[in-house]
Amino acid sequence: MNIEVLNLPDGSPFAIIKDLYSEAEKDSILKELDYLQSRKPLWLDPEHSGTAKDQENTPLKFNKCIWMNTLYKTNEASAILTNNLKIYSDGIAARIAQENPWFKYLIYNSEFTTLLSYYENQEHYKPHRDSSVLTTLTWFYKEPKSFEGGDLVLEKETTVKCTSNTMVIIPSTTLHEVTPILLPEESRSQGLGRYTITTFVTNTRVTES
């Protein structure tokens, strides 16, 4: 595992955690992704899964999604939701929070909402901001990688290459986009595109003075 806390040119922080999950953890997540991929009715289009929109009220994302906390009643029922808490059980969140105060919101919060997204050929997400405090993005795809693109661009100037088993954590106000996926025709409709596990972290803790 490799952890870096970096800064954008405007000073905004972002964290990259490579090789986050062990082989056993990764295999359990990929098995669940295969299962969910086979259940086509579960996947929602942008209008029904929620999306940032432009000034003309046009959706900015082009992909399919599942709200994981709606699908499962408990985290324990899902390998994705269970393993998604690893940054807490392994002390990763605390370590990142020590490196930049922005990431203290990983520790002092009470709300996590997890969205699973899948991108096929030409699908992408235009520049947008999220309505949460922090956003974590974890990427998965079947090896060997069958597509090009699908990279994360922050503030239209910093590109983070899409590599499997990598988590990126950003302040949700950071402008970010996903570049179009380029997937050969023979590889389409087989679950060979780009999966993203997105967790929206919000702080709803109320303190009394």
**Residue 18 is part of which domain span?**
2-51+59-202
Give strand pairing partners of 16.
4, 168
| Gap between the Cα atoms of 19 and 165, Å rounded | 5
- Residue stretches of the chain with pLDDT short of 50: 206-209
**Amino acid identity of 166?**
T
Tell me which residue of 37, 18, 17 sits closest to 80, measured CA to CA.
37
User: What letter does residue 104 receive in the DSSP assignment?
Assistant: G
Residue 68 within a domain:
yes
Predicted pLDDT of residue 111? 85
Residue 7 within a domain:
yes
Residue 82 within a domain:
yes
Predicted pLDDT of residue 208? 45
Predicted pLDDT of residue 110? 66
Residue 185 within a domain:
yes
Residue 20 within a domain:
yes
The percentage of residues in the chain with a pLDDT greater than 70, rounded to a whole number, is 96
Predicted pLDDT of residue 206? 47
| Gap between the Cα atoms of 8 and 32, Å rounded | 34
Q: Is 122 left (phi over 0), alpha (psi -120 to 50) or beta?
A: left
Which CATH number do you get for residue 76?
2.60.120.620
- Count of domains in the chain? 1
Predicted pLDDT of residue 56? 87
Predicted pLDDT of residue 205? 54
Predicted pLDDT of residue 31? 98
| Gap between the Cα atoms of 116 and 137, Å rounded | 10
Residue 181 within a domain:
yes
Residue 209 within a domain:
no
pTM value is 0.95
Residue 194 within a domain:
yes
Predicted pLDDT of residue 176? 98
What does the angle CA 134 – CA 114 – CA 44 come to, to the nearest 5 degrees?
125
